[in-house]
Amino acid sequence: MAKKDLRIGLVGVGFMGRTHTNGYKRVSDFFPDLQTRPVLKAVCSRTAATVNAFAEQWGYETVETDWKALIARNDIDAVDICTPNNMHAEIAIAAAEAGKMILCEKPLSRTLEEGRQMVAAIEKAGVNNTVWYNYRRLPAVTLAKQIVDSGKLGRIFHYRANFLQDWTINANVPQGGQGTWRLDVDAAGSGVTGDLLAHCIDTAIWLNGSITDVSAVTETFIKERVHQATGAMQKVGIDDACIFHCHFDNGSLGLFESTRYARGHKALYTFEINGEHASMRWDLHDLNKLEYFDHRDESIVRGWRTIHVTDGDQPYMDKWWVPGLSIGYEHSFVHQVADFLKSLETGEPCSPTFKEALETQRVCEAVLDSAAARSWKNINAY
């Protein structure tokens, strides 16, 4: 049967533009049962030379230098937003009004208010949507979800997560500009809270349910940096590090830490869940493995076991090589495209939708407010 085309219009040609495009290019080869196939119809970025080079390298049919022109085209079905965070809301709202499906890079928005406007626009337009919290779709993380849902852990007591990096320790790293826009509060909205803890919060809510209240501390270690746009030394408005603890609705306690000042760590995302009967932990640096401890095992063999999540009956792995052979970071994006295409067939939403990702925005906003006010914040107030 001939497949239906989903004509993609990608906005933004940075690191995420590449990960998403790789997902579109690989998905039909590895998920042959899908009835829809992505077509790389158009890519958009402000500078003609840059966008032409990207289109040539990755195989986009056409280019645009104005995202409004991309959205106005009637040969685009879905808009993929890979821009800095300050453009997410404007593009998403315009794309929704134009009736396009939307795939938006995380975090959904800079602020909760922007996120709310995006959700309202999506709901009014009734268009398919998803937010790229890609780590959910690594097989070991999806397996963790299956294990939690099976009840094997029993009552959950603790959820712990870290996301540690070290790339901004040098005071000469500028704010603003390609890649380093993440240090510019106007472009990013926040620092590690929106960029890194948002991943941890998304996974935590997915695995362990809602967060009810938070108490946080943030720090900005380097107070001034040169801004690439002006060349002038400017105050830094983002959080360089953030630590918070919280309660979950299920009664468990959460502990989260993120920083870009943990020398030696490049992208150390880890989580651990401790339940009444069993515990699990996962580490992005060893992403195919899930560690599991079950107190109900016979005592003489009881201990942490390492599950190499590469077998055909484990999440997504029947689509790849043969049991025992690993996959990588980029596959999480292929899986998200596959799940999005599947959602078009089933009519089920592709999680996290904008509405679900707004939950993460509520927690992020409460975390930042809590740190500023040095007090607990209840998520219900957000």
Residues that bind ligand SOE (CB under 6 A): 165, 195, 199, 267
- Residue closer to ligand SOE by CB (options 111, 165) is 165
Q: What DSSP character marks residue 87?
A: G
Q: State in angstroms the smallest separation of the CB of 206 from ligand SOE.
A: 16
Q: Which is nearer to ligand SOE, 98 or 268 (CB)?
A: 268
151 three-class SS: coil
Task: Map residue 362 onto helix, strand or coil.
Answer: helix
Phi then psi for 311, rounded to 5 degrees? -90, 155
Write down the least CB distance from residue 256 to ligand SOE, Å.
15
Quote the Cα angle for 270-272-277, to 5°.
160
Q: How far is the CB of 91 from ligand SOE (least distance, A)?
A: 18
Instruction: Considering the complex, state which of residue 165 and residue 208 has its C-beta at the smaller distance from ligand SOE.
Output: 165
**Closer by beta carbon to ligand SOE, 267 or else 372:** 267
Q: Find out whether 336 and 80 touch, Cβ atoms under 8 Å.
A: no
| Residue showing the smallest CB distance to ligand SOE in the complex | 195
CB of residue 351 to ligand SOE, shortest distance in Å: 17
Query: Is 205 strand, coil or helix?
Result: helix
Sign of torsion, CA 196 79 77 57? negative
The distance of closest approach from Cβ of residue 380 to ligand SOE in the complex, given in angstroms and rounded to an integer, is: 28
Alpha helices by DSSP H, listed for 130-184, are 139-150
Q: Which DSSP string corresponds to 40-67? A: EEEEE-S-HHHHHHHHHHHT-SEEES-H
Q: Which is nearer to ligand SOE, 165 or 336 (CB)?
A: 165
Q: In terms of CB distance, is 64 or 239 closer to ligand SOE?
A: 239
Cα 376 from Cα 109, distance rounded (Å): 23
Cβ(242)–Cβ(217) under 8 Å?
Answer: yes
- Find out whether 240 and 219 touch, Cβ atoms under 8 Å: yes
CB 163 within 8 A of CB 192: yes
Beta carbon of residue 148, minimum distance to ligand SOE (angstroms, whole number): 22
* In the complex, minimum distance from the CB of residue 267 to ligand SOE, in angstroms, rounded to a whole number: 5
- Choice between 165 and 361, CB closer to ligand SOE: 165
